A and B are shown apart, each in its own frame.
Chain A
Amino acid sequence: MTSILTNLFDGVAYGMLLFVLACGLAVTLGLMNFVNLAHGAFAMAGGYVCMLLVNQHGWPFFAALPLAFVSSAVIGIVLERVLYRHLYARSHLDQVLFTIGLTFMSVAAVDYIQGSSRVFINLPAALQGQFDLFGVGIGRYRLMIIVICGLLTIGLQMVLAKTRFGSRLRAAVDDPRAASGLGINVPQVFAFTFAFGCGLAGLGGALSAEILGLDPYFPLKFMIYFLIVVTVGGSSSITGPFLASLLLGIGDVAGKYYVPKMGPFVIYTMMIVILIWRPNGLFGRTAAR
């Protein structure tokens, strides 16, 4: 019984992490219908920035996390203004090729600068180990992830639902043409959201170094996970990707624990079954219209 709860806890932590990593992609796909396979590269950038700050410059872990966010967001906005925006109107094939190219470049560049081995971030002692809560083993680091990601999710939901920017963004997602007709600066909204999504990915990358493992091949390894979150969750709301991430996280952890022999198949099978059942994703509208 307790092992079930521990697994559930780990799965939730894993899923929340995936959500923070992938929700930027959901917006990119939903808002501009842009297939960005290089999303993992932004996450990796954040992770490496955090690693360098903590390990080599002695920054405290919690001070390095915001920097991971900022650096990925800055890289994101620069690339968006310089490169990405030229490709919004192009075919999906072009977008796929372009972003695969970017991914390859990022993988080789990080490999060149930092070497190909997995890197670890030195965690403060307060985050290591686990404690018992009514007999359920709770990892401190995972608890922190759940807290941070949970707060982020609530914050995002509030921003989307309550603020002026949120309603602009939702209007732009629903119908970019009508939104710009109403005087909403859709490219600006998009650039900001893109940067924010990249920042979240960077934060997720920094947090995931401990759980998912951070090495130069990160963008390629987790590309499929991000795509699953977005296609299964859809992009009409933030809840869709969120639930999809939780499902994926819990499914993956449980699969690896209970049927270790079939480990990687669990999520792929889940994905295929869901797509046969609901080709346009579990929750509402399709991501790419």
Chain B
Amino acid sequence: MNASSDVGYHAQRQARWHYGEAAFWLVVLACGFLFPSRYLIMTDILRLALFAMSLDLILGYAGIVSLGHAAFFGVGAYAAGLLALHGIINEPVLALIAAGLAAMVLGFATSFLVIRGVDLTRLMVTLGIALLLEALAERFSNITGGTDGLQGIEMQPILGAITFDMFGKAGFFYSLAVLFILFLLARRIVHSPFGLSLRAIKNNPLRAAAIGIPVNRRLIAIYTIAAFYAGIAGALFTQTTAIASLDVFAFDRSADLMLVLVIGGTGYLYGGLIGAVIFRMLQEVFSTITPQYWQFWIGLVLVVIVLVGRQRLHRWVLYVPNLIIKQVMGRKAVVAVPESDA
């Protein structure tokens, strides 16, 4: 077996669907039927999961640290809101795609800034872009509604058939469908040769360039794709909540997103999904302890996670499942997080 077919063999093995993955999605779907009173919070988690998956694409696979991912979320949110408010595109699915494309254009335009320079410059540029957009949205309040946000958005039925109901049932299944489709797409992307080349870039950009990977072009491509995902997440936010306000651009949103991804783990796509669930639950718990100051505990969680070490933490969490698998199936652990530092 020569080297290239060896790589192909391992890549294909990794790309295959596992039973665990199917089970995961079945559980998610089942939640929709098991907890009919919790649609709103569950929709919120799905949105956050999609948003986190978008960050995972650039952070976990390409190693770009971004502090301003909310920029694309916000553009998607406002685009979807404006399209619906002015009746330009009434059909939600089309509007969703249009909003995603709007964010994608911004992502493409700003990617040239982001790929320049080192980590610190990237941090500042991404943060700066989000702040700039927030300031723009505030400035052009005749379009965006300023600090009041966009109000009175009326959503048309999805595909002309399913209306958004009061309890958020339609919203939940709509979000779930969008998340699942985009997940499939992301899964395809990261297991393609393109995705493998991204990982090579993340591990060592210099070496990647030496073996003939066009580093900058790949980074631009994945950044643009991630912007599309974030835009869709933002549009889902507007469509399911029927509001879009300035806080879609807020720094807290970008920072929380990092925490979501760090809780779930980067670089295997499920991190964002699992992290979103845990993050929302933590948030609920913290806001029942101290309603106004839950941010303190979020900060504490971040500090503790970093001090303990992300890899060690994930090993602890996976210790019990792996032990069970070892005992029951009599083979080596299969549940493992392919975590490496960004």
Chain A residues with a Cβ under 8 A of chain B: 29, 35, 83, 86-87, 90-94, 96-98, 100-109, 111-112, 220, 223-224, 227-228, 230-231, 261-262, 264-265, 268, 271-272, 275-276, 279-280, 286-289
Contact = CB atoms under 8 A, between A and B. Distances in A.
Contacts of A94: 306, 310, 341
B59 interface: yes
Q: Is the interface of B mostly helix, strand, loop or mixed?
A: helix
Contacts of B259: 97
B57 to A, nearest CB: 15
A271 B113 CA distance: 11
Contact of B116 (A86, A276, A289): A276
A261 B142 CA distance: 14
A182 B335 CA distance: 48
- Top 10 closest pairs, chain A to chain B, by CB: A101-B302, A104-B299, A108-B296, A105-B299, A101-B303, A288-B120, A98-B306, A279-B117, A279-B116, A264-B135
B338 to A, nearest CB: 16
A93 B299 contact: no
Interface stretch (B75-83, B125-133, B212-220, B236-244): B125-133
Given A35-B123, A272-B125, A101 B131 contact: no
Given A94-B310, A104-B299, A275-B117, A224 B292 contact: no
Nearest to B67: A96
B128 A271 contact: yes
A231 B258 CA distance: 22
Contacts of A262: 139
A213 to B, nearest CB: 17
Nearest to A227: B124
B299 A224 contact: no
Contacts of B299: 100-108
Contact of A98 (B117, B127, B303): B303
A176 B194 CA distance: 38
B204 to A, nearest CB: 14
11 contacts: A93-B341, A94-B306, A94-B341, A98-B306, A100-B302, A101-B299, A101-B306, A227-B120, A264-B135, A265-B135, A268-B132
A104 B251 CA distance: 11
Interface string B204-241: 00000000000000000000000000000000000000
A265 B138 CA distance: 12
Contact-size category for B? 35 or more
B234 to A, nearest CB: 21
Contact of B301 (A101, A112, A228): A101
Contacts of A109: 296
A97 B59 CA distance: 13
Given A105-B300, A272-B113, A93 B120 contact: no
A93 B300 contact: no
Contacts of B342: 91-93
A94 B259 CA distance: 11
A116 B144 CA distance: 27
A112 B296 contact: yes
Given A98-B307, A231-B121, A104 B255 contact: yes
Contacts of B310: 94
B117 A104 contact: no
Contacts of A264: 131-132, 135
B251 A220 contact: yes
B255 to A, nearest CB: 5
A272 B303 CA distance: 31
A29 B251 CA distance: 22
A87 B135 CA distance: 34
A101 B65 CA distance: 16
A104 B131 contact: no
Given A94-B310, A109-B296, A275 B121 contact: yes
Q: Which of A29, A83, A108: most chain B Cβ within 10 A? A: A108
A112 B302 contact: no
Nearest to A95: B306
Given A227-B124, A286-B117, A97 B302 contact: yes
Nearest to A87: B306
Nearest to B340: A91
B116 A228 contact: no
B91 to A, nearest CB: 35
Contacts of A220: 251
Contact of A112 (B121, B251, B293, B341): B293
B125 A96 contact: no
B295 A108 contact: yes
Nearest to B305: A97
B262 interface: yes
Nearest to A226: B124
B148 interface: no
B293 A111 contact: yes
B295 A86 contact: no
B151 to A, nearest CB: 24
Contacts of B128: 224, 228, 268, 271-272
A148 to B, nearest CB: 28
A107 B296 CA distance: 8
B302 A227 contact: no
Contacts of B118: 280, 286, 288-289
Given A83-B303, A224-B128, A286-B120, 8 more contacts: A90-B306, A94-B306, A94-B310, A101-B302, A104-B255, A227-B123, A276-B113, A276-B116
